[in-house]
Amino acid sequence: MENLFGKIAEVDQVMSFFHDNMVLMFGGFGGVGSPPLLIDEILEKGVKDLTLIGNDTGFPHIGIGRIVSQGRAKKVIASHIGSNPIAGKLMTEGKMEVEFSPQGILAERIRAGGTGLPAILTDIGLDNEMVSNGKSQFELNGKKYLVETALKADVAIVYAKKADSFGNLVYDKSARNTNPLVAMAGAITIAEVEEIVPVGYLDPEEIVTPGVFVDYVIQSGGVNWKWAWESN
């Protein structure tokens, strides 16, 4: 296939972007919509002391949970870690710092990071010390708001159904979740996709993430973990 924009890559070509101490943002919700090949390659490369930003820590053997369970993250910014007991254990033992952000606020902080906004104002968790601690407050029209800072990453990894060679992305059902937001918030964004098509093959009306946000497109081999709902 023509590679006019130089974005279609083999996974080996993008692995140089992953290094110790980096900030890595990932798409997915409970592992649904997380990129399996990139996660495995990151594990394989052995990078550590990562700061991970994403909705949740998956399950121990599903999605980003694989990286978390191996103790490769020094910090996680997420809304939930309950489905990954190893994440809870690492946090309790002081081996991994966890910053909890309410789910929709986390999504909006990522969106802010990806759309050039420094912060957002919210009243979610305003009266909740564990959310409001250490954050500035701002008064607007007589009401108080928390200032929630934008989130960005050195590299953002996402999973999509289809990409064209410009990196325009189409997602699949609920596997969309945080992916369109995460795709915008990486200094480098790598999309792992089920199918790569030439430009012109996607209906412009169905494109969710314009290719301008995507730097590299990798062919996926599909999910290689067993879901919690699958028997045996």
Partner 1 sequence: MGMGIELRNRIARRASDEIRNGMVVNLGIGIPSLVPEFLPTDMRVMFHAENGILGMGPSPAVGEEDENLCNAGGFPVTLIPGGSYFDSSLAFGMIRCGKVDLTILGSLQVSEKGDLANWIVPGKKVPGMGGAMELAQKAKKVIVVMNQCDKAGNPKIVSSCTLPLTSAECVDLIITELAVFEIKKGKLWLKELFAPYDIQTVIERTGCGINLPEQIRKIAY
Instruction: Write the interaction track for partner 1 spanning residues 22-61; mark x where CB under 8 A is met and - where it is not.
Output: -------xxxxx---------------------xx--x--
Does 157 sit near partner 1 (CB under 8 A)?
Answer: no
Nearer to partner 1, 14 or 53 (CB): 53
Point out which span in 64-72, 87-95, 132-140, 211-219 binds partner 1 (CB under 8 A).
87-95
In this chain, which of 11, 24, 50, 78 binds partner 1, going by CB under 8 A? 78
CB within 8 A of 26, min separation 6: which ones? 34, 35, 39, 52, 53, 54, 63, 64, 156, 157, 158, 182
How many CB atoms are closer than 10 A to CB 215? 21
CA gap 231, 51 in Å, rounded: 33
Residues 160-189 that bind partner 1 (CB under 8 A): 161, 171-181
In this chain, which of 19, 75, 80, 135 binds partner 1, going by CB under 8 A? 80
**3 state SS of 158:** strand
CB within 8 A of 42, min separation 6: which ones? 18, 24, 67, 72
Nearer to partner 1, 165 or 177 (CB): 177
CA gap 35, 224 in Å, rounded: 10
In this chain, which of 123, 187, 195, 201 binds partner 1, going by CB under 8 A? 123
CA gap 135, 140 in Å, rounded: 16
Residue 108 Cβ vs partner 1, minimum distance, rounded to whole Å:
6
Does 103 sit near partner 1 (CB under 8 A)?
Answer: yes
How many CB atoms are closer than 10 A to CB 83? 18
Count interface residues toward partner 1 (CB under 8 A).
51
Phi, psi torsion values for 189, nearest 5 degrees: -115, 125
Residue 74 Cβ vs partner 1, minimum distance, rounded to whole Å:
18
Interacting residues with partner 1 (CB under 8 A): 29-33, 55-56, 59, 78-83, 88, 91-92, 98, 100, 102-105, 107-108, 111, 123-125, 127-131, 161, 171-181, 208, 223, 227-229
